[in-house]
């Protein structure tokens, strides 16, 4: 018996694929080729069996040049099943909370890097990429920002945000390959939501639409010119008034050379999303951003259920399958990320009372039908 080494083509790394640990880029297949032996020349070669399909989400996704991501929290890394599932099945992680302003910058001159540093170290040790989340959001802010001792002026708030972005992006320069620079800036009509960074009091661009987003992108780009920069939002998955607003921003930024690499589609849904009309609209939406030369990342996917009956889990599996198939069909779709991977640590039950069971692994880390449907679609 001889080992036959079957390598994936180098193209597998060309769309941002993470490096795999050890020799995981290659499959070793016991071939048992008669022709490999020094036996008589009259023996008939046994046909080489095809290699088995990649057996994990990350390996299977890599053959499509797609990163399989998950939100993660450093507090759970000491749990062996959490760590082993994350590192085996995913090629990207994104801190679910620990890089948000209030957690990473709790006091004006204090940065709390220990938790996110641990996530970055874990990712690096396991050949995973890190997606940063997030730099500019009007939620999960520290008291020193929301209740300052003396009221902000646009000039002082501008300086504070500039300092924040320079510090955080600078700290992770070369380690975080992509950032959600601005999170959830749009309202349902595709206009900018009133918020501290825009107009209350804002950083100096109140009433100027996406100008504050442009400023944040420029600051982030200055701190790490190689990082990919994203604007991320919810309810922008299909073509609608909100995603039209995001598209208009993207088109304008691309035309003027503002450093935008792509957009994030959050995707907190339930199985009712899974209609032909929505899937078609999603495809068109990804395609139009792709036509601008931008990447589209699915950033926070979960498919919440009201119960874990077979019918619900089957509908959920079909939803995951249909979404990964749309992503695989669109070259611009380079990241397929879920908001966590185990039902044990999902935000859903506390924010949607009565709902849960939203992720591909159950609370005991067992693979659910959703996992199997994803893997099968990727194979």
Spatial separation of the C-alpha atoms in residues 251 and 230, rounded to whole Å: 14
- Window 247-276: contact mask with ligand G3I (x via CB under 6 A): -------------------x----------
Please report whether residue 379 would count as binding ligand G3I according to CB under 6 A: no
Rounded Cα distance, 56 and 291, in Å: 31
144 is a site residue for ligand G3I (CB under 6 A): no
Binding residues for ligand G3I, total number by CB under 6 A:
8
Q: What is the nearest approach in angstroms of ligand G3I to the Cβ of residue 268?
A: 6
For the CB of residue 97, give the shortest distance to ligand G3I in the complex, in Å. Answer: 5
Active site residue 184: yes
Task: Decide the pairing of beta strands 129-136 and 228-233.
Answer: unpaired
Q: How far apart are CA 133 and CA 299, in angstroms?
A: 10
- Using rule CB under 6 A, residue 347 touches ligand G3I: yes
- Nearest CB to ligand G3I, comparing residues 133 and 228: 133
Q: Judged by CB under 6 A, which of 138, 237, 274, 300 binds ligand G3I?
A: 300
Query: Closest residue (Cβ) to ligand G3I?
Result: 347
Shortest Cβ 36–ligand G3I spacing (Å): 52
CB nearer to ligand G3I: pick between 252 and 363? 363
Rg of the chain on CA atoms, in Å: 22
**97 versus 210: smaller Cβ distance to ligand G3I:** 97
| 184 CB-contact burial (10 Å; exposed 0-12 / middle 13-18 / buried 19+) | buried
The yes or no reply on residue 97 touching ligand G3I (CB under 6 A) is yes
The single residue among 16, 59, 87, 96 that binds ligand G3I, judged by CB under 6 A, is: 96
Under rule CB under 6 A, residue 338 binds ligand G3I: no
What is the crossing angle of helices 114-125 and 80-89, to 10°?
A: 60
With respect to ligand G3I, which residue has the nearer C-beta, 64 or 242?
A: 242
Residue pair 62/56 in contact by the 8 Å Cβ criterion: no
Residue number with CB closer to ligand G3I (89 or 300): 300
**Binding status of residue 146 toward ligand G3I by CB under 6 A:** no
What are residue 335's DSSP bridge partners? 67, 297
Task: Using the structure block, give the residue that is written with the tokens 């501008």.
Answer: 158
- 139 touches ligand G3I by CB under 6 A: yes
- Is residue 300 annotated as part of the catalytic site, yes or no? yes
CB distance 149 to 143 below 8 Å: no
Q: Collapse the DSSP code of 186 into the 3-class scheme (helix H, G, I; strand E, B; otherwise coil) and give the result.
A: strand
Instruction: Map tokens 């159950």 to a residue.
Output: 362
E strands along the chain, which residues?
Answer: 3-7, 26-30, 67-72, 92-95, 129-136, 178-183, 228-233, 262-265, 268-269, 295-303, 333-338
Q: Which of 94, 184, 214, 295 is catalytic?
A: 184
Cite the active site residues.
Answer: 184, 300
Residues that bind ligand G3I (CB under 6 A): 96-97, 139-140, 183, 266, 300, 347
């Amino acid at each position: 018996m001889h080992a036959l080494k079957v390598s994936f083509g180098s193209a597998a790394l060309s769309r941002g694929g993470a490096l795999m640990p050890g020799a995981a880029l290659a499959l070793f297949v016991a071939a048992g080729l008669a022709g490999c032996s020094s036996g008589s020349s009259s023996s008939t070669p046994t046909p080489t069996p095809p290699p088995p399909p990649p057996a994990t989400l990350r390996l299977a996704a890599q053959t499509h040049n797609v990163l399989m991501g998950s939100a993660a929290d450093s507090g759970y890394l000491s749990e062996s099943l959490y760590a082993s599932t994350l590192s085996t099945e995913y090629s990207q992680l994104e801190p679910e909370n620990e890089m948000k302003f209030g957690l990473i910058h709790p006091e004006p001159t204090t940065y709390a890097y220990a938790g996110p540093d641990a996530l970055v170290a874990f990712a690096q040790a396991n050949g995973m990429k890190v997606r940063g989340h997030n730099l500019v959001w009007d939620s999960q802010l520290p008291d020193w920002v929301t209740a300052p001792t003396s009221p902000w002026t646009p000039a002082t708030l501008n300086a504070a945000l500039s300092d924040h972005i320079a510090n955080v992006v600078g700290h992770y320069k070369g380690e975080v390959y992509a950032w959600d620079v601005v999170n959830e800036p749009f309202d349902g009509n595709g206009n900018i939501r009133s918020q501290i960074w825009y107009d209350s009091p804002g950083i100096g661009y109140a009433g100027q639409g996406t100008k504050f987003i442009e400023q944040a992108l420029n600051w982030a780009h200055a701190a790490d010119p190689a990082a990919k920069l994203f604007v991320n939002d919810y309810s922008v998955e299909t073509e609608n008034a909100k995603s039209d607003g995001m598209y208009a921003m993207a088109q304008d930024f691309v035309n003027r050379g503002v450093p935008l690499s792509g957009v994030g589609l959050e995707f907190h849904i339930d199985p009712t999303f899974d209609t032909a009309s929505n899937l078609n609209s999603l495809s068109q939406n990804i395609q139009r951003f792709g036509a601008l030369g931008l990447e589209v990342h699915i950033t926070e996917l979960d498919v919440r259920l009201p119960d874990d009956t077979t019918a619900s889990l089957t509908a959920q599996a079909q939803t995951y399958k249909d979404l990964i198939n749309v992503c695989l069909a669109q070259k611009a779709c380079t990241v397929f990320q879920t908001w966590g991977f185990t039902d044990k640590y999902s935000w859903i039950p506390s924010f949607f009372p009565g709902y849960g069971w939203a992720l591909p692994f159950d609370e005991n880390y067992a693979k659910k039908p959703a996992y199997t449907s994803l893997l099968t679609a990727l194979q």
